[in-house]
Amino acid sequence: MNKDYFIKLLTISVFIAVAIFSWNSFVSKLANPHAWFILPYFMISTPLIHVYFLNNSEPKKFVMRFMAITGIKLLFNLVIILTYGLILKPGAITFALSFLVIYFTFTFFEISQLMKHFNIKDPKTK
């Protein structure tokens, strides 16, 4: 990993923090104060998973490892959302939506950075 990766990660994190703050301030009826706990979770887990992929980049096993980690991550995230929903039902929908938006944002970032690192070109741009 390099400095550029962390700058991009921090930029995305700041953007999401501003979005959470704005949402909670201006759409107070649908605000969820627990949405702030989602951001550090992804700020920590995304670089850890990225480092794992960089250190285990053997071509023959990479796809299998990527799919396994993505599946495990998805199941773990589902457990987080369901647990929150069972404990705090009134805010479950807004929490789940916030979680999914942040999840997709960080997943897009993770995949784009891996593609950039392994010099994988988008098939649409030849």
In the DSSP assignment, the letter for residue 91 is G
Confirm if 77 and 49 have CB atoms less than 8 A apart.
no
Residue 38: per-residue pLDDT = 92
Confirm if 41 and 101 have CB atoms less than 8 A apart.
no
Sequence letter at residue 79: V
CA angle 105, 107, 113 (to 5 degrees): 105
Confirm if 9 and 43 have CB atoms less than 8 A apart.
yes
pTM for the full predicted model: 0.85
Residue 123: per-residue pLDDT = 66
Per-residue pLDDT tens over the stretch 70-122: 999 999 999 999 999 999 888 889 999 999 999 999 999 999 998 888 877 66
Cα of 113 vs its chain's centroid, Å: 13
- Domain extents in the chain: 3-117
Confidence of residue 60 (pLDDT cuts 50, 70, 90): confident
Of 80, 110, 98, the residue nearest 36 (C-alpha): 98
CA angle 40, 98, 117 (to 5 degrees): 55
Q: What is the distance between the alpha carbons of residues 65 and 56, in angstroms, rounded to a whole number?
A: 8
Q: What is the distance between the alpha carbons of residues 26 and 3, in angstroms, rounded to a whole number?
A: 34
Percent of the chain with pLDDT over 70: 94
